[in-house]
Chains A and B, each alone.
Chain A
């Protein structure tokens, strides 16, 4: 039973939080942090070799969280596996109790810590969504019948800060047409940008629930770096100035997160938190909102 699905389909506001598997086999911290905030979160998105850096597999950490009663969103990228391995991993994930999947293309290999790795990209994110839909329908990608089929709740990524925006809207519509039943967005710092994205998405006829992406900026330097280097992340100058001028950067950063949530909550169906090591501050971010 997927709480995320139930909530989003019932029109209730949902909250997800990213959890990154460790580089190594020691999961003590990751599991402890997740358990501490579990009461505030509907599901944990477990990343799949985020930024192309080698880490423990998403499916293993998902399983360990599920064993502790914590719901997960199994993130899956097309970077490292061909269509055989993707389908096989999906069947395995379902057998291990995962119901929510986030279908992603994945960062390119050269951006990570193993830049010489073979980039696969046998499928793209839309074909992966289509694949999940086929598996849900009881057959594999080439039409072979499955012995027992999964009932995944598939989601996809969207980027409100994309420039130009129109191709992003069209791609999001394609994702919805090929099975995406929720969207989690790239980090948002400018609610006007997000509002425009939502307006265009709805105008394009896409009614799929959207969860606004929230990622705390740890310093003004990080804000400037992200603004300049991370595709689609737009950080207004005023936000960078707020962080520069703040006497307590942590406090200010959390305030910014809470503010963006308050400004965008009425426009969308949920929040997707990406604390990136600041899991301990998740309660403060949520406390600071009207949710």
Chain B
């Protein structure tokens, strides 16, 4: 179980500046359980996109986007719709957004912030990992997480230890920022690499989600069980 919270609409709107057509993808796994990714949220986002003048090329809700092999096969069936879109808006956790980024040759916008449940891990063993930092940056990093793919968790580009695409720490480890650079180049969004990412709000995942933000059904069940 992974817990996400919707990003503010204004933030998502900012991501979509410059895109005319958007394919909307939701997840029927954990995010559906919390109401942040399933059909209901996708419907709501679709309405907002329509209102804002975007052409929604299609919507799809896939069960557990983090199951990359299955998600890939399902997306392949609608590849023409995706192909004619400028970008994808994905309402899922950070793992799902990263998985979709890897499957699709388009800019992938995250619709959620994945939040910490106090070091509880997700269910899907996958190379895409999410630190549940509560302020998802995947929009700016080509759908590759700098917190987990860069050993130093750097937010503004590679360090001096990056060479020929490898990390200074282990000879075979890829440099996360090199992957991000290549990905942004491939999707024609190299402009994003010079976007300044400010220091992280560490408290968002140091102790889990602050009580006042625990407004989802998941937390309600937890609280119930605790009593």
A residues with a Cβ closer than 8 A to B are: 78, 83, 104-108, 110-111, 119, 121-127, 130, 141, 157, 159, 162-164, 166-168, 170-171, 173-174, 177-178, 186, 231-232
Contacts and interface: CB of A to CB of B under 8 A. Distances in A.
B169 A108 contact: yes
Given A159-B160, A167-B162, A177-B196, 11 more contacts: A78-B152, A107-B168, A108-B161, A111-B168, A111-B169, A121-B154, A125-B159, A126-B156, A167-B193, A170-B194, A231-B161
Contact of A126 (B157, B169, B178, B202): B157
Q: Which 7 A-B pairs have the closest CB atoms?
A: A231-B163, A126-B156, A171-B157, A105-B159, A124-B154, A121-B152, A167-B181
B153 A121 contact: yes
Given A107-B168, A127-B199, A162-B163, A167 B152 contact: no
Interface in B103-158: 151-158
Contact of A108 (B151, B155, B164, B178): B151
Interface string B153-196: 11111111111110011000000011001000000001001101
B160 A157 contact: yes
Given A107-B161, A111-B169, A174 B154 contact: no
Given A157-B160, A186-B160, A124 B168 contact: no
20 contacts: A83-B199, A110-B169, A111-B169, A121-B152, A121-B153, A124-B159, A125-B159, A127-B156, A141-B199, A157-B160, A164-B178, A168-B158, A171-B158, A174-B156, A174-B157, A174-B196, A177-B194, A231-B162, A231-B163, A231-B168
Nearest to A161: B163
Main secondary structure of the interface of B (DSSP, over half): loop
A107 B155 CA distance: 16
B226 interface: no
Given A162-B162, A167-B177, A122 B199 contact: yes
Given A130-B196, A167-B193, A124 B164 contact: no
A45 to B, nearest CB: 15
Interface residues of B, number: 28
A232 B160 contact: yes
A108 B152 contact: yes
Nearest to B185: A166
Contact of B160 (A105, A126, A166, A177): A105
A108 B159 CA distance: 10
A122 B202 contact: yes
Contact of B155 (A124, A166, A168, A178): A124
Contacts of B156: 124-127, 171, 174
B185 to A, nearest CB: 9
- Max chain B Cβ within 10 angstroms of own Cβ: one of A78, A108, A127, A167: A167
- Max chain A Cβ within 10 angstroms of own Cβ: one of B159, B190, B194, B196: B159
A57 to B, nearest CB: 21
Contacts of A178: 196
A174 B194 contact: yes
Contacts of B8: none
Interface string B186-222: 0000100110101110100000000000000000000
Nearest to A233: B163
Nearest to A83: B199
A157 B196 CA distance: 18
A232 B156 CA distance: 19
A122 B190 CA distance: 25
A47 to B, nearest CB: 14
Interface in B30-71: none
Contacts of B160: 104-105, 157, 159, 162, 186, 231-232
A126 B195 CA distance: 11
Contacts of A123: 199
B200 to A, nearest CB: 8
Given A163-B163, A171-B158, A174-B157, A124 B152 contact: yes
B157 A167 contact: yes
B162 A170 contact: no
Nearest to A232: B163
